[in-house]
Amino acid sequence: MIDEPTRWLDEGALRVLVPRVLAGLVRRGEDFDAAEDALQEALLEALRVWPEHPPRDPPAWLTTVATRRLVDARRSEAASHRREEATHAEPQPSVTEEGDDTLFLLFCCCPPDLAPASQVALALRAVGGLATKEIADAFYVPEATMAQRISRAKRALAGPPARRLDQPGDLAVVLRVLYLVYTAGHTGSPARVDLAREAIRLARQLTLATEEPEARGLLALMLLNRARLPARFDSEGRIVTLERQDRGLWDTREIAEGVRVLQSALAARRPGRYQIEAAIAALHDDTASAEETDWPQILAWYDDLVALTDDPVRQDPASVLGRAVAVGHVLGSAAGLFETDRLREVLGDRHRWHAVRGHLHELDGDLPAAATAYAESAQRATNVAERDHLVRQAARARAAGSARRAQR
Amino acid sequence: MPKYLLLKHYRGGPEPHHPFPPMDEWAPEDVEAHMAFQRHVTELLEENGEYVDVRGLTPARTWVRYGGPDAAPVTTDGPHPEISDLVAGWWMIDVDSRERAVELAAYVSSEVGPGGEPLYEWIDVREVMSAASSED
């Protein structure tokens, strides 16, 4: 082990260099797959060499070492594969901004025809600079499985993207991948690699490279959501729902940044899903107590959200379900329950649908119905913490319901 | 060291020691005590150096088989879905002996139930086969 790591051996600092170096290699025409492997080797080499001989220009050092690896690899393959030598003669493009490199590489990693799981894995390794083992741990799969998934995904990419990356749809795929990384960070245990932080870091870099308000909307959503994380679980690891959270534990700095980023996004007057979801999160974050929640305003944003799709019940049922909660708070639980009825066919077998109905029944004071809905929800939960929470909710509602009956 | 699965079941197994309702009908404090015990078991196994894995399964079950050439897979929730054995989850442990596995299973079975009384739940103890021979 290294006793006194130099500044560059800080893992985070080293990983920040990855997009820049890799983008440089790919832009000058190197094969994505080979360049990524070469860079990973260069990073290992850096960990070995830099403590004794810190480089003057770390990105240049990594580029040189990775290039040497690429040449070696090519030489050893030369007998069977004749490659174009022309690409080597091309001058390296001038230094680009960190954000541009991140955007470029994310586009490389997220072709729309690649499965989401592969896009996520590839983005974390090639752009996030995470080791395969770390990514495997984050997704509870053996390292060999993740290595195979990454190498298959890389083989599916042939060099830089063939077409120009200025279609709105391209960015939408990238944003969805970052959001997947973020949400994956919330289902694992806290000891794992902090995927949520990683997603925020990448989203922040992305906003340096694009003016698209949805990119800032996504960053704002992640920040505003993550700000509540310290209050989301108690010391025993039990879920604490929004209305019961200790709001003093919320990260006010992240909330302030999220609101600032959201405002700059909304100023562009091109609203989209992430901006709207961030606006809803901001309204919750901005409220001192659950009772003061501005439900009419939240409902107005949900109206905008479900208006984004032609057939929200089929195309965006999660938003319709979120809206049903707001309807319940604004117009009464019967109206909210009526909204959930429309989703029965689409979401009736999902735990969240039953949990929302439990919440609405409870709001209505119908505790036996709430208990039944929570128990139904617990049966369908796919996450231990959520399942345990729902069983508790069911038991609590049932006990409170019987106590009330006994009083009468 | 042999590995064992200590399997918990949603249903199935020998005649229960005593009947008990589903957990959502227990008093909230009993639910808390039960869940705290589950966490405690995992922590205990970790401290002992006997822990390998802990997992829960959702109760939804689908039996699937090959449907034949050019046919969709055949699926069913099984014969007698209401009464057939249904695994709820497991601890995988790595212990010195079968006796130790039985001892731990009995401890798991002493978990808190309604009224704060032990549940006496049946635990299914299964040895995990190793891939390679341990002897020459």
C-alpha span between A376 and A368 (Å, rounded):
12
Alpha-carbon distances of B42 from B36, B91, B118, rounded to whole Å: 10, 8, 18
How far lies A36's CA from each of A88, B33, B70, in Å?
17, 50, 41
A395 vs B59: CB contact, 8 Å cut-off? no
Give me the pLDDT at residue A188, please. Answer: 53
pLDDT in tens, A354-366: 999 999 999 999 9
Identify all chain A residues contacting B27, using CB atoms and an 8 Å cutoff. Answer: 395, 399
Among residues A61, A79, A384, the alpha carbon closest in space to that of A239 is found at: A384
Q: What share of chain B is helix, strand, coil (3-state, %, to 5)?
A: 30, 25, 45
- Residue A279 CA to residue A267 CA, distance in Å, equals 13
State yes or no: pLDDT of A5 exceeds 50. Answer: no
Chain B residues touching residue A385 (CB < 8 angstroms): none
Chain B residues closer than 8 Å to A395 by CB: 23-28, 30-31
CA distances from A34 to A31, A131, A151, B81 (A): 5, 16, 10, 52
**How close, in Å, is residue B70 to chain A by CA atoms?**
25
Q: Which of B26, B39, B59 lies at the smallest CB-CB distance from A395?
A: B26
On whether the CB atoms of residues A173 and A110 are closer than 8 A, the answer is yes
Contact B28 A396 (CB under 8 A): yes
Alpha-carbon distance of B91 to A385, in angstroms, equals 17
| pLDDT of A85 higher than 50 | no
pLDDT grade for A77, boundaries at 50, 70 and 90: low
- B77-109 as b/e: b if 16+ CB within 10 A: eeeeeeeeebbbbbbbbbbeeeebbeebbeebb
Secondary structure element (H or E) that encloses residue B46, with its range: helix B28-48
Q: Which residues of A129-148 are buried (b: 16+ CB within 10 A; e: fewer)?
A: bbbbebbbbbbebeeeebbe
Q: Are A83 and A74 in contact (CB under 8 A)?
A: yes
Nearest residue to A374 via CA among A296, A359, A145: A359
pLDDT at A83: 41
Out of B24, B56, B60, the one facing A371 most closely (by C-beta) is B24
- Kindly report the average pLDDT of chain A as a whole number: 85
Nearest to A382 among B31, B39, B58 (CB): B58
Give dist(CA B91, CA B104) in Å, integer.
Answer: 10
Residue among B23, B56, B60 minimizing CB distance to A395: B23
Q: What is the mean pLDDT of residues A244-264?
A: 96
Report the alpha-carbon distance of residue A44 to residue A47 in Å, rounded. Answer: 5
pTM comes to 0.81
Per the CB < 8 Å rule, is B25 touching A374?
Answer: no
CB contact under 8 A, A396 and B35: no
Predicted pLDDT of residue A52: 86
With beta carbons under 8 A apart, name residues in chain A contacting B46.
none
Extract the tokens encoding A137: 């741990």
Q: What angle do CA A319, A321, A326 make, to 5 degrees?
A: 95
Q: Which of B55, B134, B132, B133 is nearest to B93 (CA)?
A: B55
Indicate which of B24, B37, B91 best probes the interface with A, i.e. most A CBs within 10 Å of its own CB. B24
- Residue % of chain A over a pLDDT of 90: 47
Interchain contact, B56 vs A384, CB within 8 Å? yes
A161, amino acid identity: P
CB-CB contact of A281 with A229 (8 Å): no
Lowest pLDDT segment from A69-78, A127-136, A208-217, A244-253: A69-78
Nearest to A388 among B27, B35, B59 (CB): B35
Partner-chain contact A379 B26, CB within 8 Å: no
This complex has an ipTM of: 0.87
